[in-house]
Structure formats: C-alpha cells, structure tokens
Amino acid sequence: MSEGAASDSASAGLLPLTGRAAGEILFRRATGETVTRERFLLDVEATAERLPERGHALNLCSDRYRFLVAFAAVLVRGQVSLLSSDRTPHALEQLVAAYPEAYAIGDEADRLPLPGVEHAPLRLEERRRRPGAVPLVPARRIAAVVATSGSTGAPALHAKPWGALVACSEAAADRFGFSGPGTAASIVGTVPPQHMYGFETTVLLPLHAAVSSYAGSTFFPYDVVRALEAAPAPRVLVTTPLQIRTLLAAGQALPSLEAVISATAPLPVELAREAEAAWKTRVLEIFGATEVGSIASRRTVEGELWRAYRTVTLRPEGEEGAAVGVAHLPGEVLLADRVEVLDGGSFRLLGRRADLVKLAGKRASLAGLNAILCAIDGVEDGTFFAPDDLDTNAAARLSAFVVAPHRSEAEIAAALRARVEAPFLPRRVVKVPALPRNDVGKIVRAVLAELHRDAARRRRHPELS
C-alpha cells in the first residue's frame, strides 16, 4: 500500500489487513507451495469462523505462515493475540493468568501442557470459493499483547495497536527498500515469530511490503541454506549475531544474498565484516525493543551511528535511558538504552542500564532473575552475575550466587531450569556463606566479579576445590 493510501486509511480510523495486490506471493512453504494474497485471505476466513468466542488467544504456532493465519484470524474476529517468546510452561502460565479466559491456538505439535486452557487446533483447508474483500481493522484496536520479562520476575505486558504495527512495517519497508517497484524480495528468517523482531520482519512485513517470507524450519545451518536455495533472488536473511557466527563456522556456501539483517544483540564490527566478505553482501542491523518494536537501523561496518525510522521520535532521558515515540502508540515509552541524539534523525548508543541483559535474542532483567532465584525454597539470599563481556563474547554466560545452607547447587539449578529460559540459565550455581553486600545492602560488584573468576578457575581445575 502506498504512503498516501495508508494516510487516507489511517485518517478514516481503519487500516487493511494487507496492502498487497491480488496474485502477489506473501509466503513460501517448505513444500514448495506459494501462498498468494487470495489463499491467505481464504485461510484467514476459514480459521476465523472456527475460533471460540473469547477475548484473547495464545498463539503457539511454530510454523511462520500458520502463525500469521492464526494472528490474522484472531485480529479480524476482534480478539487479541497473546505472544511470548518464552515458551517455558511457567512463563505461559503466567501470561494466561493475566487473561484467564484465553484459549491457545496452534498445531497439535505446538500443544503445550497448560492446565485449564482450551486448545483450538489450526487446520488449513482447501476452499474453492473466492475470498471476500480485504478486512479493514481499526487502527486503535489492540492486535497483540507481547510479554517480556519485568523487574519483578513477572512478565511485563505491552499492548500493540494495529496502527502501530502497520506503521512500523511500512517504515521498515521504506528503510530497507521493500516498498518501491521491482522484484519482491524473499525473506528467510531464523528468529521465532513470537519474538517481536521475528514477528515484525518475517510475519508482518509480507502483509505490507513487497516481500515474501519462508515458512519452513531454519533451526540448523543446513536448514538455512536449503531455505535460501528455495527462495528466489533477491534474498534477505533475517537473523541474529549468534546465528551469523554459527553459519560462518559451518562453512557452507550460501546462495546470493541481497542483504543480511541482524538484531537482538550488538553485532561486533569484525563479525559483520567477516560475513560481508564471506557472503558478498551488506550486513545491516536493527535497533529496537519489545516495548516499541524496531525503531532504527545501520550498516554495521559504516560506523556506530543509528538512523531512526521516519515514524519514530527519540528523546534522551539522561541515565534513565531514552523516551521513544512511535506512530499510533498512545504515548512515549522509556527504554533502558542511553542515547546521544544528533542532527538528521541519527543517534549514538551510550550503553544500557546495568540491570538489563540480552542473550540469544531475548531480554531479561537481572532484578527479575534475582527474584526468581530468591523465591526458590531454601534460598536465603541470591543474585545473578553478568560478566562484563556478556554482550561481546558469544561464550559468556550468567552465574548465580546463593546463600542456601540446606539446598545443593544441583537442586537450585534444577529449580531454575523450570522457571528461567535457557539463555539466562546460569553456567554455574555457586553456594557462598554470604553475599558481598556493603553497609547499605548493595552488592559490591568487584567482590562478586572475583567470586565469579574463582568459580571459573575451580571449574577448569577441579583439583583446586
């Protein structure tokens, strides 16, 4: 949809489910099947007819196209999708606890043990009739509630109006050259659709930009290569720094790439250069957060400056972070990232508040992790520790230090596995007589860092224990 048409629709308060033209391809299945706009609309109509009469739906679909169909069907029925990239039963139970009338939608393979939650199976059936008109959705309608970890250990919930999601998609399409005339780009993503970055770039973009997305598995390097080979040029790989490193280490040749887009963690310049040289392409980064979605981009090898999207405003709030405004969001959102705003919509990142950590495309609060740790039976005191190189060293992981006289380290580690996502599980749980706190109760980081180094030495040399 053109910018002018989008503006007219927005002023009327309604935005189309998709701005793609009849016959355009939105998705490519692993089977080789192409999904046109007409097939997509038929799938949405058929799915929407079978949905329960509820207000919220937990989208568990792992297949990217089926995820989109479920999301769109829920949207046109006037319901709200609940999205959580944390797939642990504990996290999903917490999310459903906030919306007790919610049902889950997905394949039988996506079914998770959620007591008391109705499961609505998603079945895509062939229909021989023509689809109806493209549904119009109120721009202010809440399309999704996205869960992320909060400072108390409970997930923070962020409501996403349909207008904000559309505006973000159109801004990204404009930034990456997907909105003009020419051959539609093929997107292959390695990020789950429930993750805000994967949701925007691999699920929503095909609705509003000249791209098609790949729906099959992209878990292993071989899967990524096969997916790229099945997609026509120009190809765009949407991935993360960790997955870029894994692909390079695999040493497999990739088909020609128009671009690589990376997000979820800072991308080292050296890794970007290596990828550009190996794959003969451009490596671009997206900057954003679950609260606001993607808001800026850069080509990593060209320098540290980011360029904000045209729909974004950015205002520094000193050490507190940055106030971000996005089109169709009801107000500014305070992010933990400190920024220096320059002329022309550019800005420089000055670091994040120390409480937040990102690993494997996910964000967590150390305060929230500490709350989970200290809630374990038998733990009298405890804290997670993030090493200084957590953002730059792919091998770096968190550690946990606990005061728990009557629990073993193995028992505490097992309890954490049931409540914490895998990327944030501590590499080691270390029991100590007391945490190094100062007179006002704050932990002395320097002492904790030495405990961390000592635990690492003892792990490498058990004879020192």
Q: Which two structure tokens, joined as six digits, stand for 397?
A: 């992981």
Domains of the chain: 3-352 (3.40.50.12780), 356-464 (3.30.300.30)
DSSP code, position 327? T
Give the predicted TM-score (pTM) of the model.
0.76
Q: Are 213 and 187 in contact (CB under 8 A)?
A: yes
Q: Which pLDDT belongs to residue 128? A: 67
Rounded Cα distance between 228 and 111, Å, is 29
C-alpha to C-alpha distance for 339 and 463, rounded to whole angstroms: 47
What backbone torsions phi and psi does residue 422 show, to the nearest 5 degrees? -55, -45
pLDDT of residue 126 exceeding 80: no
- According to the model, what pLDDT value does residue 30 have? 87
Q: What percent of the chain has pLDDT over 70?
A: 91
Nearest to 100 by CA among 54, 152, 141: 54
Lowest mean pLDDT among 28-32, 179-183, 252-256: 179-183
pLDDT of 10 reads 46
Distance separating alpha carbons of residues 156 and 291, to the nearest angstrom: 9
Q: Could you read off the pLDDT of 190-203 as tens digits, one per residue? A: 998 998 899 999 99
How confident is the model at residue 358, as a pLDDT?
80
Q: Which two tokens stand for residue 33?
A: 């099947």
Amino acid at 262: S
pLDDT digits (tens, 9 = 90+) for 403-443: 999 999 999 999 999 999 999 999 889 999 988 875 434 67
- Interaxial angle between packed helices 241-250 and 221-230, expressed in degrees from 0 to 180 and rounded to the nearest 10: 90
3-state secondary structure 49-70: HHCCCCCEEEECCCCHHHHHHH
pLDDT recorded at residue 354: 61
Instruction: State the pLDDT at residue 463.
Output: 54
Task: Judge whether 337 and 349 are in contact, CB under 8 Å.
Answer: yes
- 242 or 383, higher pLDDT: 383
269 alpha carbon, distance to own chain's centre: 22
Output the pLDDT for position 88: 77
Quote the tokens at residue 91.
Answer: 């996290």
251 Cβ neighbours under 8 A, 6+ residues apart: none
Q: What is the DSSP letter of 21?
A: P
Q: How many CB atoms lie within 10 A of CB 11?
A: 9
Q: According to DSSP H, which parts of 64-139 are helical?
A: 64-76, 89-98
Which of these ranges, 67-81, 92-106, 122-136, 349-363, has the smallest mean pLDDT?
349-363
Averaged pLDDT score across all residues of the chain? 87
Among 441, 440, 416, CA closest to 428 = 416
Beta bridge partners of 28: 34, 214
Considering only CA atoms, which of 204, 191, 200 is closest in space to residue 290? 200
Mean pLDDT of 139-157: 74
Do the beta carbons of residue 267 and residue 299 sit within 8 Å?
no
Q: Are 201 and 261 in contact (CB under 8 A)?
A: yes
pLDDT tier at 11, thresholds 50, 70, 90: very low
Of residues 159 and 264, more confidence is placed in: 159
Residues 243-291: tens digit of each pLDDT: 898 899 899 899 999 999 999 877 888 889 999 999 999 999 999 988 8
Phi, psi of 445 (to 5 degrees): -60, -40
The band of 352, judged by pLDDT with boundaries at 50, 70 and 90, is: low
Answer whether residue 375 shows pLDDT above 80.
yes
